[in-house]
Amino acid sequence: MSKDLVQQDMFTVLHGQPAPVVTRWSYSAYDPFAVSLAVRTRHDRWVEWLIGRELVMAALDDTAGEGDVRMRPLTVQGYDIVEIEIRSHDGRAVLEVDRDLLRSFVDATLEMVPVGTEADRVDLDGEIARITRSCAE
Protein backbone atom coordinates (compact mmCIF):
# COMPACT_ATOMS: atom_id res chain seq x y z
CA MET A 1 0.00 0.00 0.00
CA SER A 2 1.19 3.49 -0.84
CA LYS A 3 2.36 5.80 1.93
CA ASP A 4 -0.18 8.29 0.52
CA LEU A 5 -3.18 5.94 0.85
CA VAL A 6 -4.98 4.40 3.81
CA GLN A 7 -7.51 1.69 3.04
CA GLN A 8 -9.47 -0.56 5.37
CA ASP A 9 -12.20 -3.10 4.63
CA MET A 10 -14.89 -3.52 7.30
CA PHE A 11 -17.94 -5.69 7.64
CA THR A 12 -20.95 -3.42 8.00
CA VAL A 13 -24.56 -4.06 8.88
CA LEU A 14 -26.97 -2.69 6.30
CA HIS A 15 -30.44 -2.30 7.80
CA GLY A 16 -32.86 -4.75 6.25
CA GLN A 17 -30.17 -7.18 5.07
CA PRO A 18 -29.69 -10.55 6.80
CA ALA A 19 -25.90 -10.66 6.37
CA PRO A 20 -23.23 -7.99 6.75
CA VAL A 21 -21.87 -6.27 3.67
CA VAL A 22 -18.27 -5.35 2.95
CA THR A 23 -17.35 -1.70 2.99
CA ARG A 24 -14.05 -0.25 1.90
CA TRP A 25 -12.89 2.96 3.55
CA SER A 26 -10.16 4.84 1.68
CA TYR A 27 -8.25 8.03 2.31
CA SER A 28 -5.72 9.60 -0.03
CA ALA A 29 -3.26 12.33 0.87
CA TYR A 30 -3.95 13.73 -2.61
CA ASP A 31 -7.59 14.44 -1.60
CA PRO A 32 -6.96 15.23 2.06
CA PHE A 33 -10.38 16.59 3.00
CA ALA A 34 -12.41 13.54 1.91
CA VAL A 35 -12.87 9.91 2.85
CA SER A 36 -14.27 7.40 0.36
CA LEU A 37 -16.85 4.92 1.62
CA ALA A 38 -17.52 2.15 -0.90
CA VAL A 39 -20.15 -0.53 -0.34
CA ARG A 40 -19.92 -3.83 -2.22
CA THR A 41 -23.23 -4.87 -3.77
CA ARG A 42 -24.51 -8.39 -4.39
CA HIS A 43 -23.15 -8.29 -7.95
CA ASP A 44 -19.59 -7.40 -6.83
CA ARG A 45 -20.05 -3.80 -7.89
CA TRP A 46 -18.96 -1.00 -5.58
CA VAL A 47 -21.15 2.01 -4.80
CA GLU A 48 -19.03 4.89 -3.54
CA TRP A 49 -19.68 8.03 -1.51
CA LEU A 50 -17.23 10.79 -0.67
CA ILE A 51 -17.58 12.03 2.89
CA GLY A 52 -15.72 14.87 4.56
CA ARG A 53 -13.00 13.55 6.85
CA GLU A 54 -14.03 16.08 9.53
CA LEU A 55 -17.56 14.62 9.47
CA VAL A 56 -16.23 11.10 10.04
CA MET A 57 -13.95 12.32 12.86
CA ALA A 58 -16.82 14.21 14.55
CA ALA A 59 -19.17 11.20 14.30
CA LEU A 60 -16.88 9.08 16.47
CA ASP A 61 -18.04 11.10 19.49
CA ASP A 62 -21.24 12.95 18.55
CA THR A 63 -24.03 13.25 15.99
CA ALA A 64 -22.69 14.91 12.84
CA GLY A 65 -23.80 15.79 9.35
CA GLU A 66 -26.67 17.39 7.53
CA GLY A 67 -28.39 16.67 4.28
CA ASP A 68 -27.37 13.51 2.42
CA VAL A 69 -24.94 12.04 4.98
CA ARG A 70 -25.58 11.88 8.71
CA MET A 71 -23.60 9.91 11.26
CA ARG A 72 -23.92 9.23 14.97
CA PRO A 73 -22.28 7.06 17.59
CA LEU A 74 -24.55 4.52 19.28
CA THR A 75 -24.34 1.53 21.57
CA VAL A 76 -26.48 -1.33 20.24
CA GLN A 77 -26.72 -4.57 22.23
CA GLY A 78 -23.45 -3.73 23.99
CA TYR A 79 -21.54 -2.88 20.78
CA ASP A 80 -20.18 0.60 20.11
CA ILE A 81 -21.03 1.50 16.53
CA VAL A 82 -21.34 4.49 14.25
CA GLU A 83 -24.62 4.63 12.37
CA ILE A 84 -24.32 6.14 8.91
CA GLU A 85 -27.44 7.35 7.11
CA ILE A 86 -27.00 8.09 3.42
CA ARG A 87 -29.79 9.64 1.34
CA SER A 88 -30.09 10.14 -2.39
CA HIS A 89 -32.88 10.69 -4.88
CA ASP A 90 -32.96 6.86 -5.21
CA GLY A 91 -33.66 6.26 -1.54
CA ARG A 92 -31.97 5.86 1.80
CA ALA A 93 -29.51 3.42 3.34
CA VAL A 94 -28.53 3.03 6.97
CA LEU A 95 -25.23 1.33 7.77
CA GLU A 96 -23.69 0.37 11.11
CA VAL A 97 -19.92 0.09 11.45
CA ASP A 98 -17.81 -0.85 14.48
CA ARG A 99 -16.69 2.39 16.15
CA ASP A 100 -13.25 1.09 17.18
CA LEU A 101 -12.48 -0.05 13.61
CA LEU A 102 -13.59 3.32 12.24
CA ARG A 103 -11.51 5.12 14.88
CA SER A 104 -8.47 3.04 13.88
CA PHE A 105 -8.99 4.05 10.24
CA VAL A 106 -9.34 7.74 11.20
CA ASP A 107 -6.20 7.55 13.35
CA ALA A 108 -4.26 6.18 10.36
CA THR A 109 -5.44 9.12 8.22
CA LEU A 110 -4.35 11.54 10.93
CA GLU A 111 -0.89 10.00 11.06
CA MET A 112 -0.59 10.57 7.32
CA VAL A 113 -2.13 14.06 7.19
CA PRO A 114 -2.62 15.77 10.56
CA VAL A 115 -5.62 18.06 11.01
CA GLY A 116 -4.74 21.57 9.87
CA THR A 117 -2.17 20.44 7.28
CA GLU A 118 -4.63 19.32 4.61
CA ALA A 119 -4.27 22.50 2.55
CA ASP A 120 -0.50 21.92 2.35
CA ARG A 121 -1.27 18.76 0.31
CA VAL A 122 -3.47 20.51 -2.26
CA ASP A 123 -1.89 22.12 -5.32
CA LEU A 124 -4.56 24.75 -5.84
CA ASP A 125 -2.78 26.39 -8.79
CA GLY A 126 -2.38 23.00 -10.46
CA GLU A 127 -6.06 22.16 -9.94
CA ILE A 128 -7.16 25.51 -11.40
CA ALA A 129 -4.89 24.96 -14.42
CA ARG A 130 -6.29 21.44 -14.92
CA ILE A 131 -9.88 22.66 -14.76
CA THR A 132 -9.14 25.59 -17.06
CA ARG A 133 -7.53 23.24 -19.62
CA SER A 134 -10.48 20.84 -19.54
CA CYS A 135 -12.94 23.72 -20.06
CA ALA A 136 -10.96 24.98 -23.07
CA GLU A 137 -11.14 21.63 -24.86
- Sheet of strand 5-14: strand arrangement: 46-52, 34-40, 21-28, 5-14, 91-98, 79-88, 69-76
Show the domain range for 121: 5-136
* pLDDT at position 75: 95
Residue 121: pLDDT band with limits 50, 70, 90: confident
pTM: 0.84
Q: Tally the domains of the chain.
A: 1
User: Alpha-carbon distance 101 to 85, whole Å?
Assistant: 18
Model confidence pLDDT, tens digit, residues 23-61: 999 999 989 999 999 988 878 888 899 999 999 999 999
* pLDDT at position 2: 67
Return the CATH number at 39: 2.30.31.20
Average pLDDT over residues 93-113: 95
